[in-house]
Amino acid sequence: MSTSQRYGGTPPPRDPAAPRLAGLQAKSYAGAAGRTLGYSNFVGIMRYGLPLVALLLLGLVVVWPLATGREEGFRITFSDASGLDGSLRMVNARYLGVDDRNQPYTVTAAEASQTEPNSLLVKLQDISADVFIDDGKGQWLALTAREGLYERDARLLDLAGDVSIFSDQGHEFHTDRAHVDLGARIADGDAPVKGQGPLGLLEAGNFYVDDDKQIMLFGGGVKMTIFPGGRS
């Protein structure tokens, strides 16, 4: 039985352009695939080609004036740097040592500088020094200052600018400058000093402290305020 007999009508007419449209669609897909592949190849070539071309052009710009002897064009020249004194600098410097009784001490600074590589003198900025006493009590002496000069072999430290001296015995002194012998654990200064301790307050024109012998001497118009019964 034919389709027209089964459905009681005439069969639908065939589109004569259908085979031609199918062929065009196939060609369109093939053309799109070819263009995608060609674009990917182009991107891959340019990824490496452009940097290479840029390097070649830069080389020509630099080398060509030198090769031809012409003065115009891009040239590389060297000049002396100004503002450098040739000194060695180190940030967050730390020096470790021992005193005459083999007790440890440390000297730290925010910046350390030397005029020559083998110089024994070190200029320090923002200084902090700690001397430890291993006598069973764990005593210590601390010093701080804005700047100073450290002589490494002699273990001498000259401090200047907001010099402060602290001890675990409750003493605290402030002055403008001080000389410290880290080996002998001695500090002295000829500038006015103000401080306080367990007994009271003190002002003087100079000072001398021997931590090893537990001696403190003050001179130059000493003024002292004593607290009754001492101070804890």
Domains of the chain: 17-78 (no CATH), 88-226 (2.60.450.10)
pLDDT at 169 over 90: no
Tokens in use for 227?
A: 């607290």
Distances (CA, A) of 127 to 88, 100, 142: 18, 22, 11
pLDDT at 27 over 80: no
> In this structure, are residues 230 and 199 in contact, taking their beta carbons and an 8 Å threshold?
yes
For residue 116, the model assigns a pLDDT of 79
For residue 39, the model assigns a pLDDT of 56
Query: How far, in Å, CA of 169 to CA of 159, rounded?
Result: 22
> In this structure, are residues 184 and 100 in contact, taking their beta carbons and an 8 Å threshold?
yes
Share of the chain above pLDDT 90, in %: 23
pLDDT at 70 over 60: no
Name the burial class of residue 113, with classes exposed (0-12), middle (13-18) and buried (19+) by CB atoms within 10 angstroms of its CB: middle
* Mean pLDDT computed over 38-52: 65
Higher local confidence (pLDDT), 66 or 74: 66
For residue 6, the model assigns a pLDDT of 47
Residue 7: band (very low, low, confident or very high) from pLDDT cuts 50, 70, 90: very low
Tokens in use for 84?
A: 């450098």
